[in-house]
């Protein structure tokens, strides 16, 4: 399994220059002995460059929350149950952010010719529409709170 991690680092290590951190292997299900490759990246990062799976392992991606987030993602995380009332990665937040800062995001991504849809895909886990559909389904199931403006 460490060979798979080394192979991933060899293939995607160049993305470290863009803010990617390869954290290593992690076990996400002890009973099934399911492992993932765990990575983190900044909010402004082209997620289309990272696969969802690599050599049989899922890729678990986290956005680095230590950085200053744009106002669209600014929620009060000091409350113990903030995640029950606000979904920080709501599709609406990405839309508002891209509407406000599209040109700056394109420049930071190094691709000023991107369409708005491509910018959303890049920021939003590789596929904005897929994220939107999944979020909508999880809201219907009561697993995520519905989006509400701050």
Structural element, H or E, at residue 26: strand 21-29
| Per-position DSSP letters for 82-145, written without gaps between them | HHHH--TT-HHHHHHHHHHHHHHHHHHHT-TT--HHHHHHHHTTT-HHHHHHHHHHHHHTTSSP
Mean pLDDT of 10-29: 93
Q: What confidence tens digit (pLDDT) does each residue in 53-98 have?
A: 999 999 999 988 766 789 998 887 777 777 778 898 999 999 999 9
The whole-model pTM stands at: 0.86
pLDDT confidence of residue 119: 97
Q: What confidence tens digit (pLDDT) does each residue in 109-135 have?
A: 999 999 999 999 999 989 999 999 999
Q: What confidence tens digit (pLDDT) does each residue in 23-39 have?
A: 999 988 778 878 999 99
pLDDT confidence of residue 150: 55
pLDDT confidence of residue 148: 78
3 state DSSP class of 53 = strand
Distance between CA 50 and CA 41 in Å, rounded?
A: 11
Nearest residue to 125 via CA among 51, 58, 36, 71: 51
DSSP state of 59: E
User: Which token pair is 49?
Assistant: 């460059």
């Amino acid at each position: 399994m460490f060979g798979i991690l080394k192979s991933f680092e060899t293939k995607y290590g160049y993305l470290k220059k863009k803010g990617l951190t390869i954290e290593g292997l992690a076990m996400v299900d002890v009973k099934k002995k399911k492992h993932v490759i765990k990575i983190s990246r900044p909010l402004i990062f082209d997620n289309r460059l990272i696969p969802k799976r690599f050599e049989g392992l899922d890729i678990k991606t986290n956005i680095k929350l230590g950085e200053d987030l744009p106002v669209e993602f600014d929620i009060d995380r000091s409350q113990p149950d903030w995640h029950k009332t606000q979904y920080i990665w709501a599709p609406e937040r990405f839309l508002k952010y891209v509407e406000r800062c599209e040109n700056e995001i394109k420049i930071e991504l190094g691709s000023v010719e991107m369409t708005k849809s491509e910018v959303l895909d890049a920021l939003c886990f590789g596929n904005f529409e897929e994220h939107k559909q999944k979020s909508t389904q999880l809201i219907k199931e009561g697993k995520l709170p519905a989006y509400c403006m701050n």
